[in-house]
Amino acid sequence: MTFNLPSLALRGTILRFAGSPFDMPPQEALQVEPDGLIIVENGLISAVGGYDTLVHTLPHEVPIVDHRGKLIGPGFIDTHVHYPQFGVMASYGEQLLSWLERYVFPEERRFAERTYAKEIADSFLDSLLGNGTTTAAVYCTVHPESVDAFFTASQERNTRMIAGKILMDRNAPDYLCDTAQDGYDDSRRLIEEWHGKGRQLYAVTPRFAPTSTEEQLALAGSLLDIAPDLFMQTHLLETRQEAQWVRTLFPQRSGYLDVYDHARLVRPRSIFGHAVHVTEQDLTRCAHAGCTLAHCPTSNAFLGSGTFRLFDALRSDRRVHVTLGTDIGGGNSLSMLRVMNDAYTAAQSHGTSLHPVQSYWLATAGAAKALGLETRIGRIEPGNEADLCIMDPMATPIMAQRAKRAESVSDLLFALSMLGDDRAIAATYIMGRRHSPHAR
């Protein structure tokens, strides 16, 4: 599929990073161009800087889209989300394991039908983009049809997505179980079909240790040897009940993370969702391996799973890659602004304060770096793909009232994260092309 990628320029307040706000003062890490210009050619950022400096370099035929009064940043990156759970988000009254059995598994059964899977994928991606999120690490279902439907929908929108077929060969309903060999064969076919096709990237996806045998986990490790830039995604230590179950199922392993490590799944480009109850030994291993922990505070609060120790994971002597995830449908919003809000609250519960520039980093440039995609997405830099999110700090009366009192752009970011949602997203650009749900 080919796209008409226009040349254009975007004018507004541009947000860039000089470095990680966890390695330098946050106010110094965020670079702000109050009246800036981003020039986009063939889907890529070709130049960025002050409007007065760059406007004279533009050919006359290149249009300037005026977003003055708004913040222009990279598209958000959601590193843990289940598109098949889009229809059961906000389902009442359960904790993780019973919630899966009551709501999630029956809904996932429907994704054996390609037409239904495509319908949900279309709605999910349009909602994701409506929230300013341009890249996500997405769980499909056990059905290959669900993966084909999702990547087809993503390809139609030209989005850079990471996704994969769930692997489950035990402790789940028969209608959702594969076998270790079938899961391997299906995944290999999907990797060959989709990984690196356009902007699509594949993630080997064992759901979580209790629903896979050691044989299946070992074959998942073998799948990762097919290509060096494949991803892996799964769940880790979301609840104490789940952790106890893993100890029962894998008594020969020293812990939950060791189950994955034994299968060669703990490596760069591996994304472990939640990690609420990680030990110091787990964090040290993750730091050395270069893998990523996806912090999902909205979901953790909704399901009563506990609160992730963010600043412990980010300790400077053995820093772990940490990103943010909505975890729909345990989470009840696709807004990364809402997740930033809940990450702040979770940090407060441990006696630490998450600066708004730090949370914005985790949702954009920091996530891209953790995933090894920092030269493609997550930053407004020449050569990067022009996936952009335009935020309006005046989007609602309450936000406007607060914005008038903002003392700095970082203060505006904090207000956006506390009060914002999809209404604060004025526009989303995919490789320089403005997204419209009706434009395919």
The CA distance from 143 to 117, in Å, is 10
* pLDDT score for 439: 42
Query: Residue 44 pLDDT > 90, yes or no?
Result: yes
Determine phi and psi for 391, rounding to 5 degrees. Answer: -105, 135
pLDDT band at 330 (very low <50, low <70, confident <90, very high): confident
Q: Given a cut of 90, is residue 329 above it in pLDDT? A: no
Mean pLDDT value of segment 84-105:
79
Angle at 147 between CA 95 and CA 237, to 5 degrees: 30
Of the listed ranges 81-90, 173-182, 277-286, 412-421, the one predicted with least confidence: 81-90
- Mean pLDDT for 15-19 is 98
Kindly state the average pLDDT of the residues 156-181: 97
Q: Where are the domains of the chain?
A: 8-75+380-434, 76-334
57 Rama class: left (phi>0) / alpha (psi -120 to 50) / beta: alpha
Mean pLDDT, rounded, for 147-161: 98
What pLDDT shows up at residue 49? 98
Which pLDDT does position 4 carry in this prediction?
72
| pLDDT at 438 > cutoff 50 | no
Of 95-99, 191-195, 211-215, 303-307, least confident by mean pLDDT is 95-99
pLDDT tens for residues 348-402? 999 999 999 999 999 999 999 999 999 999 999 999 999 999 999 999 999 999 9
Q: Which residues contact 25 (CB under 8 A, 6 or more apart)?
A: none
Helix axes 336-349, 356-363, angle to 10 degrees: 130
Contact 79, 323 (CB under 8 A): yes
What's the CATH fold of domain 76-334? TIM Barrel (3.20.20)
Quote the CA–CA distance of 99 and 93 in Å, as a whole number. 8
Same CATH topology for 8-75+380-434 and 76-334: the answer is: no
Q: Look at residue 101 in the predicted model and tell me its pLDDT.
A: 80
Confidence of residue 1 (pLDDT cuts 50, 70, 90): low
Q: Residue 150 pLDDT more than 70?
A: yes
* Interval 200-246: pLDDT, tens: 999 999 999 999 999 999 999 999 999 999 999 999 999 999 999 99
Query: In the prediction, which pLDDT does 98 show?
Result: 79
User: Where is pLDDT greater, at 35 or 97?
Assistant: 35
Establish whether the linkage from the previous residue to 87 is cis, with ω within 30° of 0: no
Predicted confidence band of residue 77 (pLDDT cuts 50, 70, 90): very high
Percent of the chain with pLDDT over 90: 90
Q: Is the pLDDT of residue 440 over 60?
A: no
Residue with tokens 């995830």: 325
pLDDT, tens digit, 9 for 90 and up, residues 310-323? 999 999 999 999 99
Per-residue pLDDT, averaged over 301-306, amounts to 90
- The average pLDDT across 12-17 equals 98
CATH among 2.170.130.10, 3.30.420.130, 1.20.1080.10, 2.30.40.10 for 8-75+380-434: 2.30.40.10
3-state per-residue secondary structure call for the chain:
CCCCCCCEEEEEEEEEECCCCCCCCHHHHEEEEEEEEEEEECCEEEEEEEHHHHHHHCCCCCCEEEEEEEEEEECEEEEEEEHHHHHHCCCCCCCHHHHHHHHHHHHHHHHHCHHHHHHHHHHHHHHHHHCCEEEEEEECCCCHHHHHHHHHHHHHHCCCEEEECEECCCCCCHHHCCCHHHHHHHHHHHHHHHCCCCCEEEEEEECCHHHCCHHHHHHHHHHCCCCCCCEEEEEECCCHHHHHHHHHHCCCCCCHHHHHHHCCCCCCCEEEEECCCCCHHHHHHHHHHCCEEEECHHHHHHHCCCCCCHHHHCCHHHCCEEEECCCECCECCCCHHHHHHHHHHHHHHCCCCCCHHHHHHHHCHHHHHHCCCCCCCCCCCCCCECCEEEECCCCCHHHHHHHCCCCCHHHHHHHHHHHCCHHHEEEEEECCEECCCCCC
81: nearest Cα among 223, 212, 218, 205: 205
* Contact between 419 and 391 (Cβ < 8 Å): no
Percent of the chain with pLDDT over 70: 98
User: Can you give the pLDDT at residue 357?
Assistant: 98
User: What are all long-range contacts of 49-54, with beta carbons under 8 Å and residues at least 24 apart?
Assistant: 51/11, 54/9
**At residue 405, does pLDDT exceed 70?**
yes
Query: Position 172: which residue type?
Result: A
The pLDDT of residue 92 is 75
Mean pLDDT (the chain, rounded): 95
Report which residue type is found at 297.
Answer: P
